[in-house]
Amino acid sequence: VRQHGPDTLGTALVNGIEGDAVSVLDRGLAYGDGVFRTLRVLDGRPFLWSRQYAKLAADCAALKLSVPARPLLEREVSHIAAHIPDAIVKIIVTRGAAARGYAIPRAAKPHRILISAPLAHRRGPVSGVEVLLCETRLALQPRLAGIKHLNRLENVLARSEWREPAIAEGLLRDIEGNVISGTMSNLFLVRGGRLLTPELTRCGVAGVQRARIIELARRHKMPLQIGRLGIEDVYAADEVFLVNSVIGLWPVIKLGRKKWKAGETAAEIRQWLKQDERD
């Protein structure tokens, strides 16, 4: 399946107007001063929309950006994905265009940029993936931790560590050695029937799918621990899996020489996620 080419795109909307360009003065370009979301849109309906919008609003608030109104954004998402049955829509909210300088202009008006593309790989649940342990480490920045902001060079560096198509994702540690996430996914471990996931108070992105699984675990009374985890915890885990709202859930079956079988807990959580969609 070919990825959507770099010079073509389904459609883009910039502040509600069809177009494929933003101002060279946009602070999103200048400083990464903005946030984003990537959502799956099925038949024009954004998947997990309430959660996605709530997270966008929270991330905007964290950067003191005003979030676009929900009905407006919802209309635009539906519009942009109207002719793509199974689409990925990326929403970017930036601080807007401004003169040079880090100071946030009082009059700054946020820009909203929506980009749609067909989902490149439409397929059933992935049975298991191989991952790499990245050398790139995440810096500790509590002020930005959890936020899906536009400063993503660490993710770019980490993702550039491999080209082998067999490797689906890379595991990231922070500079102290704590395991944090994948380059574009959140991480869960299972050990002795307990679900473990890294705390993301000093780095990393706290994704919508992670939040959903944490909630579902609580609802289903599965023991859950959010805390600091080392790479030894990964190797010692009975199951390892990665999640985000586009991929769903990927069981990890290989990391270096270590192998796992796709486990029962991952399968159970997939069932929860499926039921939750129908709710």
For binding to its own copies (CB under 8 A), which residues are involved? 3-7, 9, 12, 14, 19-33, 36, 38, 63-64, 88, 90, 92, 94-105, 107-108, 113, 115, 117, 136-137, 139-141, 143-144, 149-160, 175, 183-184, 203
Q: Which is nearer to its own copies, 196 or 247 (CB)?
A: 247
Task: Give least dist CB 43 to its own copies, A.
Answer: 20
Rounded Cα–Cα distance for residues 54 and 118 (Å): 24
Q: At what angle do helices 208-219 and 49-62 cross, to 10 degrees?
A: 120
Minimum distance between the CB of residue 148 and its own copies, rounded to whole angstroms?
Answer: 11
Q: Which residues are within 8 A (CB) of 204 and not within 5 positions of it... i.e. 6 or more apart?
A: 138, 145, 146, 172, 174, 180, 181, 186, 198
Nearer to its own copies, 10 or 214 (CB): 10
As measured in angstroms, the least distance from the Cβ of 29 to its own copies is 5
Cβ closest to its own copies, residue 99 vs residue 192:
99
Give the shortest CB-76-to-its own copies separation in angstroms: 14
CB of 236 to its own copies, least distance (A): 28
- In whole angstroms, give the CA distance from residue 279 to residue 273: 10
Closest CB to its own copies among residues 68, 263 = 68
Token pair for residue 167?
């490797």
Q: Which is nearer to its own copies, 49 or 162 (CB)?
A: 162
Alpha carbons 37 and 52: distance in angstroms, whole number:
7
Q: Which residue has the tokens 């049975």?
A: 127
Comparing CB distances to its own copies, the nearer of 119 and 222 is: 119
Indicate the DSSP class of residue 203.
S
Nearest-approach distance from CB 209 to its own copies, in angstroms: 17
- Pair of tokens at residue 254: 């290989």
Tell the burial category of 102 from Cβ atoms under 10 Å away from its Cβ (0-12, 13-18, 19+): exposed
